[in-house]
Amino acid sequence: MSKASTRRLARDTRDFKVVKTLVLIVVLFVIMWTPIFSVFVAIQLDGMAENMEVSSQALIVTLCIALCNACANPFIYGIMNTKIKNAITSCLCKKKRGILSDEARNSATVPISAISYHSHNSSNS
């Protein structure tokens, strides 16, 4: 396999992952926002009458479901993106007192939160 075809395969794989993430985000958006839109349509069709058939509890529950979509997106990106997943794993797998794991120490980038306060102060003494 030539270098050009290897690069093309890597680019196609990256593109496929991006498309897969985008489709997942859109599908989740539709699933989580459809209930509130349905409630809004029912309210409009009901004409805001005094004896509305749509309860306030239904409105509150569907609104909460829709708003949870904003909370779900960071988790989806974290699951679908390898770089984000590795950064989160290295931050969560720190040893005692802020000492990084071997994997995090050997990586090219170190998150600022991973640098311990203790090691910073000892170098200034």
- Domain segments of the chain: what residues? 1-80, 82-125
Q: What is the mean pLDDT of residues 34-50?
A: 82
Closest CA to 104 of 91, 121, 120: 91
pLDDT at 119: 47
Please check the confidence at residue 103 and state whether its pLDDT lies above 80.
Answer: no
Supply the DSSP symbol for 101: P
Q: What is the mean pLDDT of residues 23-31?
A: 94
Phi, psi of 107 (to 5 degrees): -75, 160
Length in residues, the chain = 125
